[in-house]
């Protein structure tokens, strides 16, 4: 998403976590705060947020016990998130005012950085791509599918959350590798998008009560590669169809769910 400019250069708007949600978050779980724009100290840069990536992992960070790869967001602290930023002021030798960078400023107009988490972007015509097709979601898709999934021509590849930032790239890469790609997405519109725009061979609606039967019909020779993004009933529908030696890339399932379901996976399944 793109962020508009603050009403004045002296105001820094930030959205903080006000309460820990149970289930889906609502606006009541957040609070908009305004304060002064911070001043960079020696070795720091002041960043202005231009684009912010909203990602599923953020919901887990709202819990008091967060996943192992990131810390839980303290109450009253701004929500974290990947950002594209413009350097407004710099007291860092490697950055100058006006530089475009990839950072982690989170849900706020301005932030300070010591530069260690910044990646220069140069002059990008569409800098928001650094958060999507040229950023973390696409890298997740590329590494997860090619390094772990290792699709071969003629394989059947199933992708959960097929129209999401990661799944949409997974399906397109798999098609380029000559695999047959079956997506699973939420709703008819998303399924049409997967087939008509992204080039999937087929896409099934995860809300359909006959998903398991439909998936079996769409994968008559079983599943060779499964890119897991969601867990739950979708994972349950996929597991019986995995071929011996199938590769499963678990990208969007909690560690607890993954361990519990892995014990039921066929011999040769890598998860």
DSSP 195-219: HHTS--SEEEETT-TTHHHHHHHH-
For residue range 93-124, list pLDDT tens digits in order: 999 999 999 999 999 999 999 999 999 999 88
Same domain, 157 and 257: yes
Residue 252: pLDDT band (50, 70, 90) is low
Whether residue 271 is contained in a domain is answered as: no
Same domain, 144 and 197: yes
Whether residue 48 is contained in a domain is answered as: yes
pLDDT at 1: 52
Whether residue 270 is contained in a domain is answered as: no
**How many other CB atoms are there within 10 angstroms of residue 208's CB atom?**
14
Residue entry with tokens 């705060």 = 33
Same domain, 125 and 181: no
Whether residue 269 is contained in a domain is answered as: no
* Residue 264 predicted with pLDDT over 90: no
Residue 9: pLDDT band (50, 70, 90) is low
Assess contact for 172 and 149: CB atoms under 8 A.
no
Same domain, 115 and 165: no
Residue entry with tokens 């199938």 = 246
Same domain, 24 and 70: yes
Same domain, 26 and 53: yes
Q: Length of the chain, please? A: 271
Same domain, 115 and 167: no
For residue range 36-74, list pLDDT tens digits in order: 999 999 999 999 999 999 988 899 899 988 676 788 999
Query: Domain containing 62 — which CATH number?
Result: 3.90.180.10
Interatomic CA distance for residues 85 and 13, integer angstroms: 15
Same domain, 176 and 101: no
Instruction: Select, from the ranges 3-7, 92-96, 231-235, the one with the highest average predicted confidence (pLDDT).
Output: 92-96
Query: Domain containing 170 — which CATH number?
Result: 3.40.50.720
Same domain, 126 and 142: no
Whether residue 267 is contained in a domain is answered as: no
* Residue 269 predicted with pLDDT over 70: no
DSSP 116-169: TT-EE--S-SSGGGGGTTTSHHHHHHHHIIIIII---TT-EEEEESTTSTTHHH
- Chosen domain end from 131, 156, 178: 131
Assess contact for 184 and 162: CB atoms under 8 A.
yes
pLDDT at 56: 83
Same domain, 144 and 164: yes
Look up the pTM and report it.
0.77
pLDDT at 257: 43
Phi then psi for residue 186, to 5 deg, are: -100, 90
Higher pLDDT, 229 or 15: 15
Same domain, 157 and 45: no
pLDDT at 124: 87
Average pLDDT, the chain: 89
pLDDT at 267: 37
Domain with 34, as residue range(s), is 11-131
3-state helix, strand, coil in the chain (%, to 5): 25, 25, 45
Please name the helix (run of DSSP H) or strand (run of DSSP E) that holds residue 182, with its range, or none: strand 180-185
Interatomic CA distance for residues 116 and 135, integer angstroms: 17
- Chosen domain end from 73, 101, 131: 131
- Chosen domain end from 131, 154, 181: 131
Assess contact for 185 and 198: CB atoms under 8 A.
no
Domain count for the chain: 2
pLDDT at 55: 87
Same domain, 34 and 93: yes
Assess contact for 112 and 70: CB atoms under 8 A.
no
Whether residue 2 is contained in a domain is answered as: no
């Amino acid at each position: 998403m793109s962020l508009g400019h603050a009403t004045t250069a002296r105001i820094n708007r930030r959205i903080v976590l006000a309460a820990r949600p149970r289930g889906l978050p609502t606006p009541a779980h957040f609070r908009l705060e305004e304060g002064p724009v911070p001043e960079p100290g020696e070795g720091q840069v002041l960043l202005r947020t231009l684009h912010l990536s909203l990602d599923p992992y953020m919901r887990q960070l709202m819990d008091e016990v967060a996943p192992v790869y990131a810390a839980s967001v303290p109450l009253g602290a701004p929500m974290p998130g990947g950002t594209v930023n413009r350097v407004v002021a710099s007291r860092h030798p490697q950055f100058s005012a006006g530089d475009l960078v990839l950072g982690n400023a989170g849900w706020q107009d301005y932030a300070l950085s010591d530069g260690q988490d910044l990646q220069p972007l140069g002059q990008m015509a569409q800098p928001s791509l650094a958060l999507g097709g040229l950023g973390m979601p696409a890298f997740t898709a590329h590494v997860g599918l090619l390094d772990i999934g290792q699709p071969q021509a003629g394989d059947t590849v199933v992708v959960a959350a097929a129209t999401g930032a990661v799944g949409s790239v997974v399906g397109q890469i798999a098609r380029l590798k000559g695999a047959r790609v079956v997506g699973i997405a939420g709703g008819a519109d998303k399924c049409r998008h997967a087939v008509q725009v992204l080039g999937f061979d087929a896409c099934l609606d995860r809300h359909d009560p006959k998903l398991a039967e439909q998936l079996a019909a769409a994968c008559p020779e079983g599943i060779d590669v499964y890119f897991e993004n969601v867990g739950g009933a979708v994972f349950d529908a996929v597991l019986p169809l995995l071929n011996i030696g199938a590769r499963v890339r678990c990208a969007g399932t909690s560690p607890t769910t993954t361990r519990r379901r892995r014990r039921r996976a066929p011999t040769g399944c890598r998860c």
